[in-house]
Amino acid sequence: MKRVTWSASIICCVLCAAMPWSSPAEETIAEDESEVATHMHEHLDRITAIKAHIIMGQLDAVRAPATWLAEHKSVAGLPANFLHYVEMMREYARQVIAAPDLDAAATAVSSMARTCGNCHLSNDIELKFGYDQMPEGLTDTVSHMQRHQWAADRLWEGLIGPSDFAWDLGSDMLVDVPLHAADVTDEVTSDADATAIDQMAHRIHVLGGRGTDARTPDSRSGLYAEILGLCADCHTRLGKGPAQ
């Protein structure tokens, strides 16, 4: 089968493929491709929004984008082998809507990303990612958190691609020197929070090490879900996330 290469900026996690257009009219082809690309952007925007709200610890905010994913109509004419993945994505979106806590929502959105990657893989779709510049290895807290965020983005792309290269970049970055509660003393207000943050930071870096050995979509999805949940828990305890 011929491999189709798409830019990650226009790929959708649900529809996720270049369709085999056969219309004789060039103008019609362009219109159809534009429609699918727009729909892909809409899916990607919602899934990314769910992930971002989880990271920020905002459980209520995940339900609006998840509802759109669960209830919207797909573009007509999708190949039959896509429909299985479409329904899986809708089911995971329903799980996000019903999630009782951030960990459950993280598991569901991680399963969405895995489904994206499985769809791409089964349909021989190759994504190419344009990476942001890797943050410098400085020791201040802001730089450390920037490296965490950069690593998490690569893991996400590793699932959606799927991309071994992106996944390994993220895993390797998380093996960096752990952040400690003492580094965020302005935000930590109790010994209990300090202990919990130290434990979460250590666990993040343990998971980074395990990530280098995770070679299947299922194992990677489980690791990413736990990392996402830890990020949410830490930001909730600190009372702010990466954009605040």
What does the pLDDT profile of the chain (244 residues) look like in tens digits? 445 554 443 334 333 332 222 233 333 333 445 666 677 678 878 999 999 999 999 999 999 999 999 998 877 766 677 788 889 999 999 999 999 999 999 999 999 999 989 988 888 877 778 777 777 766 666 777 788 888 999 999 999 999 999 999 999 988 875 665 555 545 556 777 777 777 877 788 788 889 989 999 999 999 999 999 998 988 887 775 554 4
- Report the candidate in 126, 12, 124, 23 with the shortest Cα–Cα distance to residue 69: 12
Write down the pLDDT at residue 189: 63
- Whole-number Å distance between alpha carbons of 50 and 53: 5
> Any idea what DSSP says for residue 125?
E
Q: What is the pLDDT of residue 21?
A: 26
Rg of the chain, C-alpha, whole Å: 19
Instruction: Report the alpha-carbon distance of residue 179 to residue 167 in Å, rounded.
Output: 21
7 has which bridge partners?
Answer: 128
**What's the whole-model pTM score?**
0.80
pLDDT score recorded for residue 142? 73
Residue 190 in 3-state DSSP? coil
Note the pLDDT of residue 10.
36
pLDDT the model gives residue 155: 95
Tokens of 17: 């493929």
For residues 39 and 125, give the distance between their C-alpha atoms in angstroms, rounded to a whole number: 17
Looking at residue 140, its pLDDT comes to: 67
For the chain, domains (ranges, CATH) are 1-128 (no CATH), 133-244 (1.20.120)
Helix (H, G, I), strand (E, B) or coil at 25: coil
144 vs 135: CA distance, rounded Å:
9
In the Cβ-directed half-sphere of 90, how many Cα atoms lie within 13 Å? 12
173 within 8 A of 147, measured Cβ to Cβ: yes
Contacts with 195 (C-beta within 8 Å, 6 or more apart), sequence order: 181
Run of H or E residues at 151: helix 141-160
Residues 232 and 102 sit within 8 Å (Cβ to Cβ): yes
**Are 93 and 135 within 8 A, CB to CB?**
no
Question: Residue 91 has what pLDDT?
Answer: 97
Cα–Cα nearest to 49, from 36, 28, 38, 64: 64
Q: Which residue shows structure tokens 């730089």?
A: 143
126 — phi, psi (to 5°)? -110, 125
> Which residue in 48, 90, 87, 86 sits closest to 67, CA to CA?
90
Tell me the one-letter amino acid at 206.
V
For residue 12, the model assigns a pLDDT of 40
